[in-house]
Amino acid sequence: MEYLIKRTFEKLVSKGCLHVTMASGTDFKAGDDTGPRSAIRFTDSRAQWAFLFDPELKFGELFMDGRLLVEHGSLYDLFCLLMTNAAEAPESRWLEAVDSLRFALRRWKQRNDSNRSQKNVKHHYDLDARIYDLFLDADRQYSCAYFEHAGQSLEAAQLAKKRHIAAKLYLEPGQSVLDIGCGWGGMGLYLADVAEAGRVLGITLSDEQIKIALTRVRDRELDHRVEFRIADYRELNERFDRIVSVGMFEHVGLPYYDTYFKRCRELLEDDGVMLLHTIGISSAPAHADPWIDKYIFPGGYVPSLSEILPSIERAGLIVTDIEVLRLHYAETLREWRNRFMAQRDAAVVLRDERFCRMWEHFLAFCEAAFRHETLVVFQIQLATRNDSLPRCRDYFSDRENKLKSRESLISGSLDLSSVAAGAGHDAPQKNRTTHDCTDLPAHLRRQSPAS
């Protein structure tokens, strides 16, 4: 068995250096002993067998359980080493068979009807809100930021993301907007407050998100123009001038793409515009990562453009623009990972050590995948008519400049003063909806941004 482990890693790592220590104490090195270096150790022989049987799933599980230890470098460094070697690594016939089976079963795994969708959302988004306070920005933007230049703070990049999306919506003052997957309400509040939407309806399936979103809209005294509710996109029967969906499409499920876009077309006015912001892959279709599917986003799927566009065409929507955001999510995840690791002691108190290992694995794995594999973010602009939007794309920047000017005049749920100054995570977060952290030890309460 140790021979099989050695052969597996020698095939996987040809550049750099990976030092592997077996449960028995024997060790070896894989790679050409140059460049990046990492070291891992298996704590028991059953862990080694589990890894050989299904490395895609078991690597994360073993790390969560403390049975696979990273002894040199960070977990993120290890993922970077493995992923940069993966393209040239031959795959065993057994793992090819496992991949083929997972690919064949992907539609069955993503049977996200209304009941299952709500259950999936609760699994991830109904965590203790204080966990998200540890690493998100003050506006709780839990999707890819838009980094306009090197060194930009996460707060400024998340604000730029909302501005970029609002510009693409080509929203006129007084128009109505549906926000599918509204999260904690930040996008909807921006569209009402800065972009001057006449009415915004934000929907989510998360009880925890809706509580905070409703509190925020009441605090801003925008409840006459902004409504948040628990609802599935399939339940709505109203019509809107604009639809925005940020980071929700990954949860729709491949069998429901036709349903999703057909419903969006029915919900749009005759001259409507939609902006879809979703994680995707720039390669051929593949199966969902089994560890992410089991522990982080059950029922989730990251599509290729070739899987999205046919459903858009069948729904009668017109693709008016596609932008591919490369590396923006890698930078976003780096910020989240650094902030979470800086607050890790507080996270252990809120949950436990295994949860923190799971979350570290999630953030490190995703950051490395966005940096070294084919994960990207698609922003797909859609319209119901050819003449719904200007013919040239220069209106994007014109609209963004106007929105930026209006931001400077507004204070409220977004801490625009600190964002404009490029403030980082330590800046005062005056407008964050706070949560009770009195059950944390005093030294952790002082660290927590929610305190």
Q: What is the pLDDT of residues 193-207, one digit of tens each?
A: 999 999 999 999 999
Position 239: which residue type?
R
Ordered DSSP codes for 141-164: --S-----STT--HHHHHHHHHHH
Verify that 318 and 212 share a domain, yes or no: yes
Same domain, 100 and 119: no
pLDDT at 89 (0 to 100)? 67
Where is 190: in which H helix or E strand? helix 186-193
- Structural domain harbouring 405: 115-447
The pLDDT of 300-318, averaged and rounded, is 97
Rounded to whole angstroms, how far apart are CA atoms 282 and 373? 9
Phi-psi bin for 413: left (phi > 0), alpha (psi -120 to 50), beta?
alpha
Let me know whether 211 and 341 are in one domain: yes
Which helix H or strand E contains 108, and what residues bound it?
helix 106-109
132 and 64 share one domain: no
Distance CA 311, CA 442 (A): 53
> Final residue of a domain: which of 104, 137, 167?
104
Main-chain dihedrals φ then ψ at residue 96, nearest 5 degrees: -65, -40
Q: Report yes or no on 306 lying in a domain.
A: yes
Residue 297, domain member (yes or no): yes
- 335 vs 247: CA distance, rounded Å: 18
Q: Give the number of other Cβ atoms within 10 Å of residue 266's Cβ.
A: 12
d(CA 145, CA 17): 33
182 included as an active-site residue: no
**Assigned token pair, 110:** 């993503």
What are the tens digits of pLDDT across the range 111-139? 878 888 888 888 888 888 899 999 999 99
C-alpha closest to that of 359 among 377, 343, 373, 372: 343
Contact 275, 165 (CB under 8 A): yes
Domain count along the chain: 2
Q: Where are the alpha helices (DSSP H) in 203-352?
A: 207-219, 257-267, 290-291, 305-314, 328-342, 344-350
What is the rounded distance in angstroms from the CA atom of residue 82 to the CA atom of residue 218?
Answer: 48
H helix or E strand, kind and range, residue 33? none
119 and 97 part of one domain: no
In CATH, what number is assigned to the domain containing residue 254? 3.40.50.150
Q: What is the pLDDT of residue 125?
A: 86
pLDDT surpasses 80 at 436: no
Domain boundary among 68, 85, 104: 104
Assess contact for 216 and 141: CB atoms under 8 A.
no
Determine the residue type at 62.
L
Q: Tokens standing for 225?
A: 């123009």
110 domain-assigned: no
Phi, psi of 341 (to 5 degrees): -65, -35
What contacts 123, CB < 8 A, 6 or more positions away? Answer: 297, 298
Please, are residues 324 and 136 in contact by the beta-carbon 8 Å criterion?
A: no
For the chain, report the end-to-end CA distance as a whole number of angstroms: 50
Confidence of residue 447 (pLDDT cuts 50, 70, 90): very low
Q: Do 267 and 370 belong to one domain?
A: yes
Cα–chain center distance at 212: 19
Domain match, 59 and 129 both: no
Do β-strands 318-325 and 268-281 pair in parallel, antiparallel, or remain unpaired? unpaired
- Give me the mean pLDDT over the 351-363 stretch: 97
Q: What is the pLDDT of residues 136-169, one digit of tens each?
A: 999 999 999 999 999 999 999 999 999 999 999 9
HSE-CB at 10 with a 13 A cutoff on CA atoms is 9
One-letter amino acid for residue 354 of the chain = R
Among 17, 182, 356, 366, the one annotated catalytic: 366
pLDDT tens, residue by residue, 375-424? 999 999 999 999 999 999 999 999 999 999 999 888 644 444 344 444 44
Q: Could you tell me if 204 and 90 lie in one domain? A: no
CA dihedral 198, 158, 243, 318 (to 10 degrees): 130
Residues 75 and 130 both lie in one domain: no
Pick from 78, 104, 130: which residue ends a domain?
A: 104
Q: In what order do the strands lie in the sheet with 68-72?
A: 27-31, 17-21, 37-42, 68-72
Q: Which residue type occupies 10?
A: E
Give the list of residues 6+ apart from residue 281 with CB closer than 8 angstroms, or none: 302, 303, 304, 374, 375, 376
CB neighbours of 229 closer than 8 A, spacing ≥ 6? 201, 202, 203, 210
Question: Is 109 inside any structural domain?
Answer: no
Helix H or strand E encompassing 390: none
pLDDT digit string, tens, across residues 329-342: 999 999 999 999 99
Q: Are residue 340 and residue 360 in the same domain, yes or no?
A: yes
For the chain, what's the residue count?
451
Determine if residue 350 is left, alpha or beta; phi over 0 gives left, psi from -120 to 50 gives alpha, anything else beta: alpha
Q: Order across the sheet with 176-180: list the strands.
A: 226-230, 199-204, 176-180, 240-246, 268-281, 375-383, 318-325
State how far the Cα of 165 lies from the Cα of 109, in Å rounded to an integer. Answer: 31
In terms of pLDDT, which residue wins out, 201 or 86?
Answer: 201
425 pLDDT higher than 50: no
In a domain, 319, yes or no: yes
Residue closest to 140 by CA, chosen among 182, 168, 200, 179? 182
The answer on 77 and 148 residing in a single domain is no
* 375, 250: one domain: yes
